[in-house]
Structures are given as structure tokens and as C-alpha cells.
Amino acid sequence: MKVQDSAYDARNCLSLIRMVIEEKCPPGVLPSEEAVNGLYGPLPIHEAEALAKAIIETVERLTRGAN
């Protein structure tokens, strides 16, 4: 049951990160959960990859805007 708990915890953490990105980052940097499943895959690592790319895209946009 420990493995299931870890997977559940990971999904919960990723959901919280997604919520913050959707609230604070520019629209369009993060695909929907359904799109992530189609583009990357259904595993937590795939969601994490999409979240990381959204953060990177946001930083790049902010950096370009500051110049």
C-alpha cells in the first residue's frame, strides 16, 4: 500500500502546482490535463514535465518582456 500512497501524494502535489500555474502564469502556457495525457502520457512524470515546461515558458515570456 506504500507505493499507492506515494503515487497518490505525487498526484496531489502535482495538482496543487497545476492550480498555482493556472492562477499565476499567462494563459496558454499549460495544456489541460486531458491534453497532457495525449501529448505526454498519463503518468505523474508526464504531468510534471508539462508543469516544468509551463514554468520555463512563463520565465522566458517575463524575461523577454523585461528587455
Q: Which grid cell is 27?
A: 494563459
Whether 51 and 21 have beta carbons less than 8 Å apart is answered as yes
pLDDT tens-digit map of 1-14: 566 788 889 999 99
Residue 6 has what pLDDT?
85
Residue 2 has what pLDDT?
64
**Nearest residue to 59 (alpha-carbon basis) of 18, 28, 29:** 29
Residue 65 has what pLDDT?
79
Which segments in the chain show pLDDT lower than 50? none
**DSSP letter, residue 25:** S
Residue 7 has what pLDDT?
82
Residue 3 has what pLDDT?
63
Whether 47 and 36 have beta carbons less than 8 Å apart is answered as yes
